[in-house]
Structure formats: C-alpha cells, structure tokens
Amino acid sequence: MFQTLIRRIPSAAAAALAAVTLGAAAPAPSVTPNIITIGNFTFGPEVATVPVGTTLTWVNGDDIPHTVVAIDKSFRSPVMDTDGRFSFTFTKAGTYEYFCSIHPHMTGKVVVQAP
Amino acid sequence: MQDRPHRRRFIECMGWAGTGLLWTAGGGVMSSITLDRAAAAAKKTGVKPFSFLQVSDSHIGFTKDPNPDARATFREAVAKIRAMPDKPDFIIHTGDITQLSKPQEFDDADQILKEAGLTVFHVPGEHDMLDEGGGKAYLDRYGAGTLGDGWYSFDHNGVHFVGLINVKALKAGGMGSFGQPQLDWLKADLAGHSASTPIVVFTHVPMWTIYEKWGWGTDDATQALSMLARFGSVTVLNGHIHQVIQKVEGNVAFHTARSTAFPQPAPGQGPAPGPMKAPAGDLHAALGVRTVSVVRGTGPLAVVDATLG
Ligand SMILES: [Cu+2]
C-alpha cells in the first residue's frame, strides 16, 4: 500500500563519500571535505579511516533528525535536521566510536592514523 | 494483528472511521470486547465505565513527505476527539509531541490539544529531548509534579496509571532505557498497590522488543515487567513506531499506537524506520488515535484504534 521513502542523498555528499576510505584499507588521501553521509538511519561509511588532521563532515540525508556523539565525549554535534551538517577535526590518532544520541542503534567509528 | 475486527465494529459503533481498543479491567487475562458489550457489562456490575484517549507521535513541526503539515493532521485528530459522543476522561500523549523540541512546536501542540478540552498527561519521545538542555524544555513545560526526568503515577477510578521515560540518556548501540533510578522509583510506587489493581503503564518506546535492529524496544524493560508480573491486569501503551502492534503475554497486554503525523514501515520492512510515503488519499488511513475504556469488575478488556480517515 505504501512505498518506502526513497531518500535523497545530496550528490555532493555522494561524490565526497568516495574520499573516505573504508575499514583498515590504505591510508586515506587528505581530500577535503571528507563527508560521512547519514542515510536510512546509518552512517556511510560506518568506519572511516583518515590521517591525523582530517576534518570530517557529517551530512544528514534523512527526513528525521540525527546527532553524532563520540562515546569518549571528544565531539558532540547539535541536532542535525535534514541536510544539516557537523564538522570535527581529528588532531589526535586513535579510534573514535560514536553514535546518534536520538537513535542509539546508529553507530559508527572513525579511525585516525598517525602520519 | 488483532485490531482489524475491532476497527470494523468501532466504525459501526462510533460512526467515524477507525479502530479503538476498549479495555475492561478486572480479574485474569484481558481480552477484547466491543464497546456495546462493555457498556452492558458495566450496567450489570453497577460500575460506571470510563474511557481515556491515547494520542501519539504528533511530531509538530514535521513538514516533509508524506505529510507537509503535521499540525493539520493533529488538529484533525483533536477534532475527532471533540466530536466523540462519549467524552473520554482524559488524554494520554505517548510522546514525540514535537519534531525538534522547538518552543514554537511545543506551543502549537499545546494549543491544538487544548481544543479537545480535556486534561492531558504527557510522556516525552526522543524528539522532545532535542533542546540544548537535553529534555529541560520538556520538563519545564510538563514536569510539574513529576519526579526525576519526568516520571509519575496517578490513580483514576481505581486504575493505577504510570508514566515512564525511556528516551533519556540513551547508550550507544542500545534501545530505549529507563535507568536504575526510575526502576527503583517504579518498584516503590507499585509496592503500595494490591495485585487486583488494574495497571496502565505508558511510555514512548515499546516495552517489548519489536525490532532490535531499529531500536524498537527498551533495554531494561524486563526489570519493569518483572515488577508488574504480580498484577492481574496490566496494559502497556506505547508510541514510537507509528503503527498498531499488539501482544499479550501472561497478564500483560502491550499496544503501540498510530502516529497523527506519518506512518512508519512494518518491522524490518524496508531499509530504515523513517517516514513512509503514502499515496495522498491513504495518509489518513495510516494515522489515528486510540480509545481505551476501563470497566471495573468485569473480566475482559478491549481497546479501539481509530484512523483519521
Ligand atoms: Cu538518529
């Protein structure tokens, strides 16, 4: 009876998505902006591996608000409504796990590698 | 689920589209009956029945597909309530009053609900916790007489009502959560009531795990349910998932309600639990309110869910 809503992923965000490497693959090229797209209640990519000094930008492509909150409290976004953005610069190497405080089943990870 | 036959009967009975579950509280396991039978049973036992209304997930401020104006559909729901021939005693709103916790959204929701002319009891949804203070705006507005993050209980015609909060300080990877201080309070609150007291618990996120992957459940609900196990009649009313799903487990009947703003997919159907597009004519069939009637001293209970169109 109903069709599931097909969400718009901003094309700029979709293009920039490729700039963030997945998992523990080769070191990421320092392309800015590095974008993590929030779509269908997931972070894409779920695991982003970047070099120290990278600024990551989360963009909400859903019709529902989300947040990005680091479990170690190192960053916390305000509520991002549709097309809302939040950026954070990673100045220290390490693994940063984060989640959406509104929908805590949404989790992601940023692996920041030393040069 | 079970609501379909009730819906048909309710349409006949009330004359406006939809379903409702009419509950009678009494001994043993609850089962659904029609409004007519409840009234007849009430006459026999000499107990004056009462009903209350549940609305949920009004998401005031939502303006996207499939509903460009969540205020308008909420107003329609309230108009239906106002037109009911048997006035409910009060309204319970099971959360996500607003979309983004903005003062104007809360103001508009209050303004619209006021048109019903009934007392309203609130519990927050996760969308009502999005202010700077992480729920302070909600508490400032609705928290008078509540404890902790806003939980409370009250008695009405021999039925004990408990409003719980399971959308605050959620943990990564988890679902809804009550937290220990609230569970401790619940234990003490229930301690003063005999096992024959009908209990109605209302909270935003479902108190049973409907779909873990989408967070449709409450991590520490089992603790709350174990405290409720000794009661003969427990009715749990939830929102959050924007659709009617019901389950009976022992003496506990669980119900989720429709939203007045937009429908969400069935558990696991589709990629995510977001708003579902609905063909223009079908949106109203996916939105609704719920009537719960309580008739003391009779066995079976029934609840009626009503759609907006
Ligand atoms: Cu979220």
Which pLDDT score, from 0 to 100, does residue B295 have?
A: 65
Is residue B161 included in any domain, yes or no?
A: yes
- Mean predicted confidence (pLDDT) in B276-286: 76
Least confident of A67-81, B17-31, B58-72: B17-31
Report B:280-299 residues touching A (Cβ under 8 A): 282, 286
- Residue A98 sits at the chain B interface (C-beta within 8 Å): yes
State pLDDT tens for residues A19-30.
444 444 445 444
Give the containing element (helix H, strand E) for B31.
none
- Residue A114 sits at the chain B interface (C-beta within 8 Å): no
Mutation for testing the A interface, residue in B100, B128, B170 having most A CBs under 10 Å: B170
Contact B272 A81 (CB under 8 A): no
Which pLDDT score, from 0 to 100, does residue B302 have?
A: 60
- Which residue in A has a C-alpha nearest to residue B279's C-alpha? A2
Q: Which domains does chain A have, with CATH numbers?
A: 1-28 (no CATH), 35-113 (2.60.40.420)
Contacts of B263 in chain A (CB under 8 A): 2
C-alpha distance across the termini of chain A, in Å: 53
* Mean per-residue pLDDT over chain A, rounded: 81
Contact A104 B273 (CB under 8 A): no
Domain that residue B290 falls in: 12-306
* B263 closest CB neighbour out of A2, A99, A104: A2
- Residue B275 sits at the chain A interface (C-beta within 8 Å): yes
Mention every residue, 6+ apart, whose C-beta is less than 8 A from residue B94.
B54, B55, B56, B57, B123, B125, B202, B203, B204, B237, B238, B239, B240, B257
Which pLDDT score, from 0 to 100, does residue B40 have?
A: 54
State pLDDT tens for residues B150-209.
999 999 988 899 999 999 989 999 999 999 999 999 999 999 999 988 899 999 999 999
DSSP-derived secondary structure for chain A: --EEPPPP--HHHHHHHTTSEETT-SPPP--SSEEEEEETTEEESSEEEEETTPEEEEEE-SSS-B--EETTSS-B---B-TT-EEEEE--S-EEEEEE-SSSTT-EEEEEEE--
Report how far residue A30's alpha carbon sits from residue A17's, in angstroms, rounded to the nearest whole number. 13
Strand, coil or helix: B164: coil
Report B:46-85 residues touching A (Cβ under 8 A): 64-66
Share of residues in chain B with pLDDT > 90 (%): 61
Contact B130 A40 (CB under 8 A): no
Contact B279 A41 (CB under 8 A): no
Which pLDDT score, from 0 to 100, does residue B235 have?
A: 92
Report how far residue B204's alpha carbon sits from residue B4's, in angstroms, rounded to the nearest whole number. 23
Which pLDDT score, from 0 to 100, does residue A33 have?
A: 61
Amino acid identity of residue B205, one-letter, is V
- What is the whole-number distance in angstroms between the Cα of residue A66 and the centre of ligand 1? 4
- Please indicate whether residue B226 or residue B297 has the higher confidence score (pLDDT): B226
* B172 closest CB neighbour out of A3, A40, A71: A71
Which pLDDT score, from 0 to 100, does residue B291 have?
A: 81
Per the structure, the count of domains in chain B is 1
Instruction: Report whether B3 contacts B246 (CB < 8 A).
Output: yes
User: Which of B11, B161, B168, B19 lies closest to B95, judged by CA?
Assistant: B168
Report how far residue B231's alpha carbon sits from residue B62's, in angstroms, rounded to the nearest whole number. 39
Which pLDDT score, from 0 to 100, does residue B281 have?
A: 66
Amino acid identity of residue B269, one-letter, is Q
Name the pTM for this structure. Answer: 0.81
Residue corresponding to tokens 């949920």: B56
* B126 closest CB neighbour out of A5, A98, A102: A102
State pLDDT tens for residues B66-92.
999 999 999 999 998 898 888 889 999
Is residue B6 included in any domain, yes or no?
A: no
- Please indicate whether residue A1 or residue B120 has the higher confidence score (pLDDT): B120
State pLDDT tens for residues B197-251.
889 999 999 999 999 999 999 999 999 999 999 998 899 999 999 999 999 898 8
- Which residue in A has a C-alpha nearest to residue B67's C-alpha? A63
Is residue B3 included in any domain, yes or no?
A: no
Contact A63 B274 (CB under 8 A): yes
DSSP-derived secondary structure for B9-22: HHHHHHSSSS--B-
Is residue B92 included in any domain, yes or no?
A: yes
Is residue B253 included in any domain, yes or no?
A: yes
Contact A63 B265 (CB under 8 A): no
Report how far residue B258's alpha carbon sits from residue B280's, in angstroms, rounded to the nearest whole number. 17
Least confident of B4-13, B138-147, B263-272: B4-13
DSSP-derived secondary structure for B117-156: -SEEEE---GGGG-STTSSHHHHHHH-TT-BTTTBEEEEE
Instruction: Report whether B95 contacts B122 (CB < 8 A).
Output: yes
Contact A105 B212 (CB under 8 A): yes
Report how far residue B122's alpha carbon sits from residue B215's, in angstroms, rounded to the nearest whole number. 22
In angstroms, what separates the C-alpha of B123 from chain A's closest C-alpha? 16
CATH number at residue B121: 3.60.21.10
